[in-house]
Structure 1
Amino acid sequence: MKLTPELHVLALIATATVLMWIPYMFARILTRGPAQTLANPDPAFRPDPAWAERARRAHANAVENLAVFAPLVVIAALTGVSTPATIVACNVYLGARLVHYVVYAAGIPVVRTLAFVVGAGATLVIAAAVLSHV
């Protein structure tokens, strides 16, 4: 199978998603120290900074959305669906998810929601392309 532009974007977003834990773990190490960070969670531990907790939730959201986006991109590649619309949708998805992570961690609510909706819309474009391919 050829590495389509859509699969390339999938590789980029999967790589970004796997790296999203680093900022909030770094914050946890600074807040709790290495020993407590590596220990089992305990309610007595100092809480993470608010931005780090938001980054953790943004990461979880990225994983949840990747679970829908990735299979659609793979199905498109397997069935030979690659159009200008699917390429643009994948690039839009990548940008939207990166913006979502940054603004979620920064605590910017309206932009966060808009980025989420744009990413979901891009996923739906790919779904429509796959489902309309007969």
Structure 2
Amino acid sequence: MPIEILALAATGALLLTLTLIQGTRNVLVLGLPTAAGNQHDIAPWNGANDRLNRAIRNLIEAIAIFAPIALTVQVLNLGNDTSALGAEIFLIARVVHALVYIAGIPWVRTLAWFAGVAGIVMVASALIV
């Protein structure tokens, strides 16, 4: 399997994992009836709980950018060493980003975000022929 597609699948697995953690947290903290409801009348999350929610939203945004680029590179069979390395950098950066975002480590989070963007650019460079 091409590394660009493997990185995309692994990023999806990361999103699924974080979402399962979020859902489990909701049930444990709010109780099943509230967690299963619309959650309109709950207090805003704070601390690590809020950062988890924001890390998930940020990851969704990153996947929305990375996925079409990685898929296009593969459909057009343009993958190369740079795009493969970029996909690896993207995946590692997104794992680090999620962990340090939830932990509340701001500067490392920002560096991981920039590394993820650099990985996307590296994958996209395969499209510039």
Could you state the TM-score of these two structures normalised by the residue count of structure 1? 0.88
1:92 aligned residue: 89
Which residues of 2 match residues 48-63 of structure 1 at below 5 A? 48-63=45-60
The number of equivalent residue pairs is 129
List per-residue Cα deviations over 1:3-43 (Å, max 9, x = no partner): 32211111111122122212222222222111111111233
List per-residue Cα deviations over 1:34-65 (Å, max 9, x = no partner): 1111111233x344352121111101110111
1:17 aligned residue: 15
Gaps of 5+ in 1: none
Q: CA RMSD in A?
A: 1.4
2:27 aligned residue: 29
What secondary structure does 1:48 align onto?
Answer: coil
Q: Say which structure, 1 or 2, has more relative contact order (CA 8 Å, 6+ apart).
A: 2
2:117 aligned residue: 120
1:129 aligned residue: 126
1:39 aligned residue: 37
Give the conservation status (yes or no) of the 8 Å contact 2:83–2:125: no
List per-residue Cα deviations over 1:52-109 (Å, max 9, x = no partner): 2111110111011101101111111111112111111101100000111111111111
Could you state the TM-score of these two structures normalised by the residue count of structure 2? 0.91
Separation of aligned partners in 2, 1:75 and 1:7:
10
Gaps of 5+ in 2: none
